[in-house]
Structure 1
């Protein structure tokens, strides 16, 4: 079990480049990835997204990449057409003003657009520098998620044990619930018919109500859901969605038991189950 909350940071510098990678994540129903990087590294964005999406299943993940080139191959080109146009314009102006001065090369070169410098932007070269830094940052990020996830799992399993204890408590009171139903029927018949109570009719009505108000099926389904819940936490590295669904099913059975119970102890056990279940659901909001 992993938390959806994590943080990782790594920086590295060499003679060519200074790099830093920061990863942050928060809880979210689905996977959302936000990438912040310099414009000239934008060709790497698809790879960065794929790197994160292949390792995270849910959560809002923010990846920030900062880079500063310390040395890079630069190619310089001359725009001869622009230089010739500048020269012609300068000579024309000199003639118009009656000046006779030589046009220096340094003057032409200093004019805008004559010299054009361009750095070599090779995505593969950048990726080879970024990937190891990203891997180290993600290692820290993943360790934080696993560490917090282990603490969350421990807390969830403690509440799950509370649920199990309450299920067994309700099971112990099931015969008491049936006896209360029988007594209630007999009291109502006596209120209407007095002592002329038809025992067969009482038994028939009791059987009908026991079918309607018995909680044996709910208890059976609850036990099954709790077993499945614990198994899912052990076998699935990202069980959040499945566990949330199981919580809904458990809540449905608990509510049904509460609505059927005329026994005070069962009602109290239902309240404890709802409290434990609410705590579990609160924790699951941050489970991947």
Structure 2
């Protein structure tokens, strides 16, 4: 099933120790690129969160925001003396190297990460609940990406149907296209007869006929359309493959356009490019 890289989820939990709110937001990105905003007391959860994302997602920029609100009256602040001592030693070394350096005041010291700790809530319980909340949020995010991916697949399929229609129209136009190409070929041959020897003239005829043939381009367009449809039904990430197929479709559309000799085939070639570009824009959001 096709998955989008765009989705959002917000999950919350409330208990006697307080509340947690977790948001996951993902947008398209060439690779998996996670970003975390976690409260200091729960910073140690980042490796577990990162590993869970890596195991279940392949692409996308994913922003994770976790908020922790301790229960009213259930939290007190305490100074981490070990952390404060380490900070004091570091400041002493700075003063020794740079005597004129301005030292922080007490409030700035308290604001340094890890110096002040929240006490009251059972941190292990909060971490355990945060991990469970993250798992719930990730499941919901993936479900959202799947729903959006289904809509993208439907949109792409409608454009693929349009490509098939344009290919069928060009095939129906082939008799008139070939007649026009034959006329142009004869016009050129009238000029070439006076300039080329018979063997060279035959070679020119074969070359012009080959350049005028669009049947091969139409076959390849249909082949690529079938492959895109097959990829849309595959499990796992398919975005990069689809992007490559869009390049191949565009290549054939450009070749068809360069060989167009009647107004109708030119219009079909332009419409093909529009349909392919619409698909390419949507495929940028597919995992």
TM-score > 0.5 by shorter chain: yes
Say which SS state the counterpart of residue 277 (structure 2) adopts.
Answer: helix
Deviation, 1:135, is 2.4
Instruction: Give, in whole Å, the separation in 2 of the partners of 1:76 and 1:246.
Output: 60
Is the contact between residue 43 and residue 123 of structure 1 (CA under 8 Å) also seen in structure 2?
A: no
Instruction: Give, in whole Å, the separation in 2 of the partners of 1:262 and 1:21.
Output: 60
The verdict on how the C-alpha distance between 1:19 and 1:193 changes in structure 2, with shifts beyond 3 A counting, is closer
Deviation, 1:252, is 0.5
Instruction: Give, in whole Å, the separation in 1 of the partners of 2:32 and 2:165.
Output: 36
The verdict on how the C-alpha distance between 1:259 and 1:16 changes in structure 2, with shifts beyond 3 A counting, is same
* Residues matched between the structures, number: 248
Structure 2 counterparts to residues 203-282 of structure 1, below 5 A: 205-282=204-281
Deviation, 1:189, is 4.0
Instruction: Give, in whole Å, the separation in 2 of the partners of 1:74 and 1:166.
Output: 70
**Which 10-residue stretch deviates more, 34-43 or 181-190?**
181-190
Say which SS state the counterpart of residue 233 (structure 2) adopts.
Answer: helix
Deviation, 1:177, is 2.7
Which residue in the other structure is 1:127 paired with?
Answer: 127
Instruction: Give, in whole Å, the separation in 1 of the partners of 2:192 and 2:145.
Output: 66
Is the contact between residue 178 and residue 210 of structure 1 (CA under 8 Å) also seen in structure 2?
A: no
Is the contact between residue 13 and residue 20 of structure 2 (CA under 8 Å) also seen in structure 1?
A: yes
What stretches of structure 2 of length at least 5 have no aligned partner? 82-115
Which residue in the other structure is 1:112 paired with?
Answer: none
Instruction: Give, in whole Å, the separation in 1 of the partners of 2:19 and 2:119.
Output: 16
**Which 10-residue stretch deviates more, 214-223 or 247-256?**
214-223
Structure 2 counterparts to residues 137-152 of structure 1, below 5 A: 137-152=137-152
The verdict on how the C-alpha distance between 1:199 and 1:135 changes in structure 2, with shifts beyond 3 A counting, is same
Larger radius of gyration: 1
Q: Deviations over 1:120-158 (max 9, x none)?
A: 998754432112212222233223222222222111110
Structure 2 counterparts to residues 29-40 of structure 1, below 5 A: 29-40=30-41
Is the contact between residue 7 and residue 27 of structure 2 (CA under 8 Å) also seen in structure 1?
A: yes
Is the contact between residue 166 and residue 269 of structure 1 (CA under 8 Å) also seen in structure 2?
A: yes
The verdict on how the C-alpha distance between 1:193 and 1:64 changes in structure 2, with shifts beyond 3 A counting, is closer
Which residue in the other structure is 1:15 paired with?
Answer: 16
Instruction: Give, in whole Å, the separation in 1 of the partners of 2:79 and 2:277.
Output: 66
The verdict on how the C-alpha distance between 1:232 and 1:193 changes in structure 2, with shifts beyond 3 A counting, is closer
Deviation, 1:228, is 0.7
Instruction: Give, in whole Å, the separation in 2 of the partners of 1:220 and 1:124.
Output: 63
Which residue in the other structure is 2:113 paired with?
Answer: none
Q: Deviations over 1:1-58 (max 9, x none)?
A: 1222111111112123421111111222222111111112111100011112222222
Is the contact between residue 7 and residue 25 of structure 1 (CA under 8 Å) also seen in structure 2?
A: yes
Is the contact between residue 17 and residue 121 of structure 2 (CA under 8 Å) also seen in structure 1?
A: no
The verdict on how the C-alpha distance between 1:118 and 1:126 changes in structure 2, with shifts beyond 3 A counting, is closer
Which residue in the other structure is 1:168 paired with?
Answer: 168
The verdict on how the C-alpha distance between 1:128 and 1:176 changes in structure 2, with shifts beyond 3 A counting, is same
What stretches of structure 1 of length at least 5 have no aligned partner? 79-115
The verdict on how the C-alpha distance between 1:8 and 1:77 changes in structure 2, with shifts beyond 3 A counting, is closer
State TM-score, norm by structure 1: 0.75
The verdict on how the C-alpha distance between 1:155 and 1:76 changes in structure 2, with shifts beyond 3 A counting, is closer
Which residue in the other structure is 1:91 paired with?
Answer: none
CA RMSD of aligned residues (A): 3.3
